[in-house]
């Protein structure tokens, strides 16, 4: 399997994205913001299709619009809480606009399918390098804000009283989520981004007692599911995204059989 260069590139890309998606997803689940990854994925699809209409690479539009949306989500902060109807309508509108862009540029249909459902086997070396640089940058920033982010997530009122700028921390975190979402979309697609970001994190929170161990397990599960999905796709010739999503669901369902850990 690893005799093929495109498979080696795919495994490397899966590792880069999974090791970022796991920890970021852990904080998403902890903060109760799992809708964010899904929302940003829909918006990113619109950005990708819009970029094609302008003659640009779809990846640029995907990253640009997800980051802009992440900044907006961070700026609004708690105002977005409990706005399920409004968020749902915005997501539907974003997807609808993306489909409208496809209507004007039908030659993009194949690329659109890859964006919606992922095509990790088509990741190029330049894309891998870009994903690696962005992932390393996001991991470093996440590590830098992890303490105030955790404080603001678990005890927001006390954190604010202690001088933590929750809005600023939230905005930085949402930008990290946006970049992670765009990266994960290269593997599982915008419609299945939940599988890599939320599934491992949710399982890790059920199986661990502390934050550090939870972050490590979340990253490990995301990596195992991404690599496992690639290996199964090679063996069966079935879509990689299907296997990654199936493994994510299977691991989470298995975690339900274990009594939920109580965080210290």
Domain with residue 169: its CATH number is: 1.10.3470.10
Contacts 24+ apart (CB under 8 A), 28-35: 28/177, 28/197, 28/198, 28/201, 29/198, 29/201, 29/202, 29/205, 30/150, 30/153, 30/154, 30/205, 31/153, 33/177, 34/194, 34/198, 35/87
**Is 211 inside any structural domain?**
no
Per the structure, the count of domains in the chain is: 1
Instruction: Give the per-residue pLDDT at 163.
Output: 74
Q: If residue 61 lies in a helix (H) or strand (E), which one and from where to where?
A: helix 58-76
- With 0-12 / 13-18 / 19 or more C-beta atoms within 10 angstroms meaning exposed / middle / buried, residue 67 is buried
Contact 1, 234 (CB under 8 A): yes
The answer to the question of residue 198 being in a domain is: no
Rounded to whole angstroms, how far apart are CA atoms 213 and 219? 10
Question: Is there a domain that residue 102 lies in?
Answer: yes
Q: Look at residue 214 and tell me if it is in a domain.
A: no
User: Does 69 reside within a domain?
Assistant: yes
Domain residues for the domain of 95 are 5-191
Chain segment 20-71, per-residue pLDDT in tens: 989 999 988 888 877 777 777 778 777 877 777 777 777 778 788 888 877 8
The answer to whether position 81 is within a domain reads: yes
User: Could you tell me the pTM of the whole model?
Assistant: 0.82
Is 148 a domain residue? yes
- Residue 264's pLDDT is 42
Residue 174 lies in a domain: yes
Positions of the chain with pLDDT lower than 50, given as ranges: 263-264
d(CA 56, CA 37): 24
Q: How far apart are CA 121 and CA 186, in angstroms?
A: 10
């Amino acid at each position: 399997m690893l005799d093929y260069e495109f498979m080696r590139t795919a495994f490397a890309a899966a590792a880069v994205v999974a090791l970022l998606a796991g920890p970021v997803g852990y904080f998403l689940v902890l903060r109760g913001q799992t809708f964010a990854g899904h929302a940003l994925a829909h918006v990113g699809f619109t950005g990708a299709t819009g970029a094609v209409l302008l003659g640009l690479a779809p990846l640029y539009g995907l990253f640009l619009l997800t980051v802009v949306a992440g900044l907006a989500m961070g700026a609004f902060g708690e105002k977005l809480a409990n706005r399920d109807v409004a968020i749902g309508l915005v997501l539907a509108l974003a997807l609808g606009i993306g489909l409208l862009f496809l209507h004007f540029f039908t030659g993009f249909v194949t690329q659109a399918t890859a964006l919606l459902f992922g095509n990790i086997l088509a990741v190029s070396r330049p894309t891998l390098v870009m994903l690696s640089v962005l992932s390393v940058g996001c991991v470093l920033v996440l590590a830098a804000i992890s303490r105030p982010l955790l404080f603001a997530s678990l005890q927001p009122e006390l954190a604010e009283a202690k001088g933590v700028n929750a809005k600023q921390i939230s905005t930085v975190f949402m930008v990290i989520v946006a970049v992670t979402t765009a990266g994960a979309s290269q593997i599982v697609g915008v419609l299945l981004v939940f599988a890599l970001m939320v599934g491992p994190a949710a399982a890790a929170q059920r199986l661990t007692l502390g934050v550090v161990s939870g972050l490590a397990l979340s990253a490990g599960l995301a990596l195992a599911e991404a690599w496992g999905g690639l290996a199964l796709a090679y063996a069966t010739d079935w879509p990689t995204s299907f296997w990654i999503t199936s493994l994510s669901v299977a691991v989470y369902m298995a975690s339900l059989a274990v009594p939920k850990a109580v965080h210290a």
